[in-house]
Structures are given as C-alpha cells and as structure tokens.
Structure 1
C-alpha cells in the first residue's frame, strides 16, 4: 500500500522494471554504490548471499550475512546492505506472480543460514532459475516453468528444519486477522474499535490476542505499523514530511510530529537527517514476530 509516486522517487530503474520474475545481483538494487540510502521495494525478494560478508538492514533491523545466508524481503519494506562487501543473487517477483499456485509465502523465513544439503539444494534452485529467467521467460511455457521453479524454491525454504510448526492458537488466528485488516486500513483509521468491529470481536478480545502473541496491546501494534510506514517513507523518499503525515491520515503536521516522536524517539526531521548514516541496530521498534504481508 505505497503510492506509485513514492516508489518512483525511491527506486532505481533496475528495481522498477516490468518483468514478472527475474534474478539480478544485489548491487543492482542499490541507489548508489555506497548504499547510502534505503531502497523502498515494490517486489518480493529472495536474497542468497554467495560471497563476502556484511549486513543487511531490512526495515531498520540489522541482519548478519555471509555465504549461504538467505533473506526474504517483502514488497513495501526498505532494504540497505552495509558495508558493501557482500555478493548475492536476488530473485525478485511481483506479488501477483504466484497467483493460482498453492504456496503460502508467509511460511518462508525472513532470515536463514543454510548449510549442507539444504544449502546445495537452494543454490541449485536459484542457479537454474537464473538460467531459465534469462533464456525462457519470453514464451508462455517458459513463464510457466519459471513460476513453478520459484514456487519450488519458496516451498523448499519454507520446509527448512529450523522452521518450527505448531497448530495456531485462537489468539494467533485473531492476531493475524487483525494484522491483515491493519494493512488494508492503517492510513484511514487508528481506532482499535474500528478493527474489532470488522473482525466481529470485542476490543478486549483483540487486545488479549495481541498481548498473547506480541506482549503489546492492539493499539501499540497498530501505532507501530503506522510508525514503521512513516519511517520507511522518511528514509527512502524525499517526499515532504507534511505530505507523508497526510498520507498516513494526520491532518496536522504537528500531530504527525508528536506521534512519530512518541513512537520512534526522535522527530521526523531528525530521523530523516540520519538516514544516510547506518547504525548498528534497529531504530524503529521491532514489529510483531508474525509479520503481515507487506509489512
């Protein structure tokens, strides 16, 4: 849910192409050779580190990377890799590319360190996908082949041994439904009552579910989502602060400033002023462990 105008100001030409599924190098995503700025993404990514070492900042969280590291980065998130000593192959696709295929992308971990047979298998999948996206993507059969290869890669990643699977508790189901509703409506309302009405539950039930999953209230989860989006736009675009605030539903710039300062700890202007100076850790409070799509 990011306006096209924001993406146009944030994305290099290499990221904003129209190919449904393709593979590129990590360096081609950078707005400049030094990765001084975050990149606001309009595609889903799988990043497979192939050489060197370094750190990736995904939504302001610093993740260590070395050969065999796999990252899943969602459309709408911001990405920066520092220092620029990391080589990686990036598989990227538009969210609609997997329509009709029976795969839950949310099962793919955001970070994983591969080893042994798992690493060999994923490297082989990515290597073959790289070849086929270049040779066969211009024919219907080739596009179908590439779609299914991407699905196989994502399924393989979702089945990594480190992925513990447990039946979802009622609180988790309610929480995930809440997150999906927040993604659709956080620009328009920050009232927990509105979300409870849409979900057909009480505010108390919704708050209890959020506390059980994240340790934070429904209102805190909602406000953190708004603050995260504000941080993304402040870091990756040059849009005026007041316009960002209006897009997020704040009619007065002072209200947006107070909200952002309360949630992040610094003013919007101060946050933007430091965006070209990578820090050792997250600036924005971490999101809930079960992230909603696009978050």
Structure 2
C-alpha cells in the first residue's frame, strides 16, 4: 500500500505519461479522502465534485479523470492492489464492484471515526522501524480493512431483500466479467453455472433491480466506453473485444444505448 497526497499522485501519473487530466484506467484501488478545497473528477463517465469530508473509491479497471487536475484540493490517497486487505475483507467489500456509488459522504460522527483510522494508517505507514516487516504490513492491512468495510457499508448498506439472490448473482457477476467478450446470452451463463435463465434474472433483479440481460448489456456498454475513451483502438477492434462478430451490429447496439455511434462518443468525450 502507498499513501500519497494529490500532488504526489499527480507526479506519479506524469511519470507514467498519463497525467491526471487525461483518462486513466488504473489496475489498483484508489481511496481518496478530501480534507479541504474542491476536487472535480469523473469515474466511469460520471462527474463528481468533492469537498471537505468527501471520500472517493475508484476500483481497478474503472476510468478515472481529473479534468482540472488536483486543483486546490487537500486530500490523502490510499493506493493498493486487489487482495492486499485480505480475503475476508475482499468478501465483505465485494458488493462495491456492482454497487458503484463511488462518492461517499459520511455523517460527522462516522467521518470523525474514519479520519482517526486514516491518521492511524498514516502513522503506521511511516513507522516501519518500530516493527518487523511482517508486523508492519499486517498492521496496515488491518487498519485499511476497517476503513474499507465502513466505506463499503456507507456506499451501499446491505438490504435483507437482496440476500436471497446474492450467491447466484455473485457467481453470475463473475461469469459475466470473465465471459462478456464471448457471449451476451443469459442462457449461455445459465448453462455454464447450472442455473436456469429465470433464476439468474430473479437473482439479478433482487440484487440490482434489473434483469440479467440488461446487466450483461450494461457491462458490455461500459467496457466499450472505457476502451473508446482510454485507448486509440479502432471501433472494429473494440467490437471484437466486447463480443460482437460484426462492427455494424456493435455500432447499432452502441447507438441504441447512447444515441451516438462509437466514433461520435469518442470524439465528444475527448472534446
């Protein structure tokens, strides 16, 4: 895990030739705690304005952009890979992958508690000589886990109504993540997982409020947008990557959902 301020994050981005003002798709988590000032950002094409007391959680694979750079914002940034908090914490925060409420505004009491935890993480991060390396890492991992679990709960509190569909949906979600570049058919995932298509639709609706087919289509659309904005790949290549045999079918799908062709979307987003 690394702990940075926004100028440090900006410098790191420049080193990688991907400044914060341009769309980036990090392969790690970023948790941003804003202490003061104003921070404009976009996460997966949703715009946010953060102020003092706000938290932002960017998951691996999402497209992040700070259109105006870090500005005058004072913030602490936690950077860590998937798996660092440990398997138990990963299980507890997994809902964040498909409840993408990335902007979190804790109430004053919870914010005070979170800042105390953040201060403890920073203190431990700079106290390597006090502990063995193994103990140092485990201490940071434990403190980070508490922060993440609290943020996950604040971003999307669990609801009992969802519990009946959780396990089938989690398996379906993972299968879609691995397979949306090959198939967009609910029936194919149902056969792969040993469920009926109706079961997957019920499970998805219980968790997200939409059907299984819509969930697949939205995941395909999101990946297409990410590739269009983050890469220079031609739309025909992106079409293949997101599971379409013919570019014309991909273009029609994209226009149906966005009102624009892939080329129009890329041009508008970059402008």
Give the TM-score normalised by the residue count of structure 1: 0.75
Are 2:40 and 2:49, in contact at CA under 8 Å, matched by a contact in 1?
yes
Matched, 1:106 2:100: no
* Higher RCO (C-alpha 8 Å, min separation 6): 1
Which range moves more in the overlay, 196-205 or 169-178?
Answer: 169-178
2:4 is the alignment partner of 1:24: yes
Contact 2:86/2:141, CA 8 A, preserved across alignment: no
Which one has a larger percent helix, Structure 1 or Structure 2?
Answer: 2
Which residue is 1:122 aligned to? 114
* 1:196 counterpart SS class: helix
SS of the equivalent of 1:266 reads: coil
- Alignment partner of 2:48: what SS? strand
- Kept after mapping to 1: 8 A contact 2:58/2:102: yes
Q: Secondary structure at the match of 1:96?
A: coil
The offset of 1:219, in angstroms, is 1.6
Residue 70 of structure 1, aligned match among 55, 80, 84: 55
RMSD: 2.9
Q: 2:147 aligns with which of 141, 153, 161?
A: 153
Higher mean C-alpha displacement, 166-175 vs 115-124: 166-175
* 1:123-272 correspondence runs (5 A): 123-136=115-128, 139-158=133-152, 160=154, 163=157, 165-166=159-160, 168-272=162-266
Q: Deviations over 1:55-108 (max 9, x none)?
A: 332111223311111122111111123444333211111102123445512366
**Post-superposition shift, 1:221?**
1.3
Give TM-score scaled by structure 2 length.
Answer: 0.81
Partner of 2:76: 89
Q: Distance in 1 between matches of 2:201 and 2:168?
A: 10
Between the two proteins, the alignment pairs up a number of residues equal to 257
Long gaps (5+) in structure 1: 1-20, 278-295
Between 1:61-70 and 1:245-254, the stretch displaced more is 245-254
